[in-house]
Structure 1
Amino acid sequence: MKTFLIALLVTALCAERASSLFCYTCDNEHSNWNCLKTYKCEDHEKYCVTTYSSAGFGKDIGHRITKKCSVDCPETNVNFGMAAYSTKCCSTSLCNFSGANSIKISYAVMFLGVVASLICVIRAGL
C-alpha cells in the first residue's frame, strides 16, 4: 500500500498541468470594447496575442485591434512616424484585456521629418 501511495504521489507531481488558456478575441476592430469576447484556445496555443495598428495624423488617426490565441509569440513594435504597428503577447488566461500596447505616433520623428524637409527646401533655394 505504501508503494502504491508513493507511486501515486510521484505521478501526481510529475504530471503536466492540464490547464486551458482563455484569451480575448476580435478581428480588426476600431475599439477595445469590441474585443472582450472570450475564447478557449486550443491545447497547442500557448499565447494570447494583441495586434494594434494606427495610422493618420491629429483627428484623422485610425486604430485597429486584433486579439487571438497563438502558437508562437511574434512580438513586434514598428513606428513609421504617422503609422505604427505593435504585437504583444502574454501567456496567462485573459491577459490580453487591454488594447493599448504603448504604441504612439512619434511626434519627435514627425518633427525631424518636417525640419529635414524645410532644410532641403531652403538649400534648394525655393
Structure 2
Amino acid sequence: MKAFLVLLLGAVLCFDSGSSLQCYNCMKKLSNSDCMMKETCKSEEQACKTDVIRIVGVLNVINKGCDSSCRPSYQDFKLGNWNISCCSTDFCNVNTASSARYSYGMAAGIAASMLWPFLNNRL
C-alpha cells in the first residue's frame, strides 16, 4: 500500500498542472525597468512578445505582453530600428538589452575589422 501511495504521489508531482504562460507587460515605456508588471496569458496559443523601437541608438520605446500572433522581425531605419521578439517560457521577455548589445557589438566588430589594417600598418 505504501508503494502505491509513493507512486501516486510521484505521478501527481510529475503531472503538468496546465498553468498558463506568464509574461511581463508594459506599453510605451522608455526603460526596461518600468516593464516589470506581470501578466498571465489567457490562452495556451499565446507567446510573450517584446516590441522595441530604438531611435538614434539613444531612445527606446518598449512594449511587452502576451500575444497570440507574435512573429519575430527586425527592421532597420535611417534613424533607428524596430525589433520584435517572441518566446514561450514564463517571464522570458524580461530583458530588452540583448538586442542593443548585439547591434552595438556587431557595429564595433565591423569597425574594428575595417580599421585594423590601417592601424596595424606602420608607415
Q: TM-score, structure 2 length as denominator?
A: 0.64
Q: 2:95 is matched by which residue type in structure 1?
A: S
Q: 1:40 maps to what in 2?
A: 40
Deviation at 1:16, TM superposition (A): 7.7
Question: Contact 1:25 / 1:36 at 8 angstroms: preserved in 2?
Answer: yes
Q: 1:119 maps to what in 2?
A: none
Label 1:30 to 1:80 Cα distance change in 2 as closer, same or farther (>3 A). Answer: same
Larger C-alpha radius of gyration, 1 or 2? Answer: 1
CA distance in 2, matches of 1:82, 1:107: 15
Label 1:101 to 1:79 Cα distance change in 2 as closer, same or farther (>3 A). Answer: farther
Q: 2:56 maps to what in 1?
A: 56
Unaligned residue ranges in structure 1 (runs of 5+): 1-11, 109-126
Q: 1:85 aligns with which of 40, 60, 82?
A: 82
Q: TM-score, structure 1 length as denominator?
A: 0.62
Q: 2:97 maps to what in 1?
A: 100
Q: 2:27 maps to what in 1?
A: 27
Partner SS for 1:74 = coil
Deviation at 1:81, TM superposition (A): 3.7
Unaligned residue ranges in structure 2 (runs of 5+): 1-11, 109-123
CA RMSD of aligned residues (A): 2.7
Deviation at 1:100, TM superposition (A): 2.1
What percent identity do the matched residue pairs reach?
Answer: 29
Q: 2:89 is matched by which residue type in structure 1?
A: T
Partner SS for 1:24 = strand
Deviating 4+ runs (over 3 angstroms): 103-108
